[in-house]
Chains A and B, each alone.
Chain A
Amino acid sequence: MRPTSTAGTGRRRSATSGCGPPCTPNPPTGNAERAITGLYALLGRRRPRFHWAASPRQAVDLLDEPPLRLGGPVDPAAPWHVAHQLADAAHRLAGRLDERAGPVGTFWWTTERIVRTRPPADALAAGVSLAELLVVGVRNSLGRSVHDGLRTPLRAALTEAVGEPPGLRWHGQHDAPWVAYHDVRRRLRPGLFHPDDDRQVDLWADIARSCGWWWPREDVCVVTERTGVAHTEALPGALHGEVRTHNRHGPAVGYADGWGGHSWHGTAVPAWVIEEPTVERIGAERNVEVRRCAIERLGWDAYLDQARLTLVAEAADPGNPGCRLQLYDLPQHVWGTPARVLLAVNGSVERDGHRRRYGLSVPADLDDPVAAAGWSYGLSGEQYARLLRRT
Chain B
Amino acid sequence: MSMTLEELTDRTGLTVLDHLEQQVRIPVVDGLQAQGDLIVIPLAVLDDVDVPARARWRPVPPSGVELLRGAAGGNPHTLVAEPGAAEWTTEVHDRQRLAVGVLRATRPAYLIHSEHGGSGIAPGTYLVRRQRERSTQRGGQADFLVAD
Which of A361, A378, A388 is in CB contact (< 8 Å) with B96? Answer: A378
B135 to chain A, nearest CB (A): 8
Question: With an 8 A cutoff between CB atoms, is A379 at the interface?
Answer: yes
Q: Which residues of B contact A (CB under 8 A)?
A: 17, 19-20, 27, 29, 31-36, 39, 41, 45-46, 48, 71-72, 94, 96, 98, 113, 115-119, 129-140, 144-146, 148
User: Is B132 in contact with A391, judged by CB distance below 8 angstroms?
Assistant: no
A6 to chain B, nearest CB (A): 14
- Of B20, B34, B145, chain A has the most CB atoms within 10 Å of the CB of B34
Chain A residues closer than 8 Å to B34, beta-carbon distance: 319, 347, 377, 387, 389-391
Question: With an 8 A cutoff between CB atoms, is A335 at the interface?
Answer: yes
A-B contact pairs, 26 of them (CB 8 A): A236-B144, A289-B137, A296-B136, A319-B32, A319-B33, A319-B34, A339-B140, A347-B35, A348-B36, A361-B136, A361-B140, A363-B134, A377-B39, A377-B41, A378-B98, A379-B41, A383-B45, A383-B46, A387-B32, A387-B39, A388-B33, A390-B35, A391-B34, A391-B35, A391-B113, A391-B116
Chain A residues closer than 8 Å to B39, beta-carbon distance: 377, 379, 387
Which of B27, B32, B148 is in CB contact (< 8 Å) with A384? Answer: B32
CA distance A350 to B20 in the complex (A): 8
User: Is A390 in contact with B33, judged by CB distance below 8 angstroms?
Assistant: yes
Chain A residues closer than 8 Å to B131, beta-carbon distance: 360, 376-377
- Of A360, A377, A390, chain B has the most CB atoms within 10 Å of the CB of A377
Known A-B contacts A339-B140, A377-B39, A377-B129; the reply to A389 vs B33 at CB < 8 A is yes
Chain A residues closer than 8 Å to B129, beta-carbon distance: 377-378
User: Is A388 in contact with B31, judged by CB distance below 8 angstroms?
Assistant: yes
- Overall SS of chain A's interface: loop
User: Is A233 in contact with B32, judged by CB distance below 8 angstroms?
Assistant: no
The 0/1 profile, CB within 8 Å of B marked 1, for residues 350-377 of chain A is 1101000010111100000000000011
Chain A residues closer than 8 Å to B144, beta-carbon distance: 236
CA distance A337 to B46 in the complex (A): 31
**Chain A to chain B: the 3 pairs with minimum beta-carbon distance, closest first:** A378-B96, A389-B33, A361-B134
- Of B29, B96, B133, B134, chain A has the most CB atoms within 10 Å of the CB of B134
Question: With an 8 A cutoff between CB atoms, is A386 at the interface?
Answer: yes
Known A-B contacts A336-B140, A391-B117; the reply to A386 vs B32 at CB < 8 A is yes
Q: Which residues of A contact B (CB under 8 A)?
A: 233, 236, 246, 289, 292, 296, 319, 335-337, 339, 346-351, 353, 358, 360-363, 376-379, 383-384, 386-391
CA distance A66 to B98 in the complex (A): 54
Given A349-B19, A353-B19, A391-B36, 11 other A-B residues pairs in contact with their CB atoms under 8 A = A348-B20, A350-B19, A361-B133, A361-B135, A361-B136, A377-B98, A377-B130, A388-B31, A389-B29, A389-B33, A391-B34
CA distance A175 to B12 in the complex (A): 47
User: Is A335 in contact with B140, judged by CB distance below 8 angstroms?
Assistant: yes
Chain A residues closer than 8 Å to B134, beta-carbon distance: 339, 360-363
Chain A residues closer than 8 Å to B115, beta-carbon distance: 348
User: Is A383 in contact with B36, judged by CB distance below 8 angstroms?
Assistant: no
User: Is A233 in contact with B71, judged by CB distance below 8 angstroms?
Assistant: yes
- Of A236, A351, A388, chain B has the most CB atoms within 10 Å of the CB of A388
Chain B residues closer than 8 Å to A387, beta-carbon distance: 31-34, 39
A147 to chain B, nearest CB (A): 19
A390 to chain B, nearest CB (A): 4
Chain B residues closer than 8 Å to A391, beta-carbon distance: 33-36, 113, 116-119
A249 to chain B, nearest CB (A): 13
A348 to chain B, nearest CB (A): 5
Chain B residues closer than 8 Å to A376, beta-carbon distance: 131-133, 146
CA distance A233 to B136 in the complex (A): 17
A115 to chain B, nearest CB (A): 22
User: Is A386 in contact with B146, judged by CB distance below 8 angstroms?
Assistant: no
User: Is A378 in contact with B33, judged by CB distance below 8 angstroms?
Assistant: no
Q: Which residue of A lies closest to B31 (CB)?
A: A388
- Of B115, B118, B129, chain A has the most CB atoms within 10 Å of the CB of B115
Chain A residues closer than 8 Å to B132, beta-carbon distance: 376-378
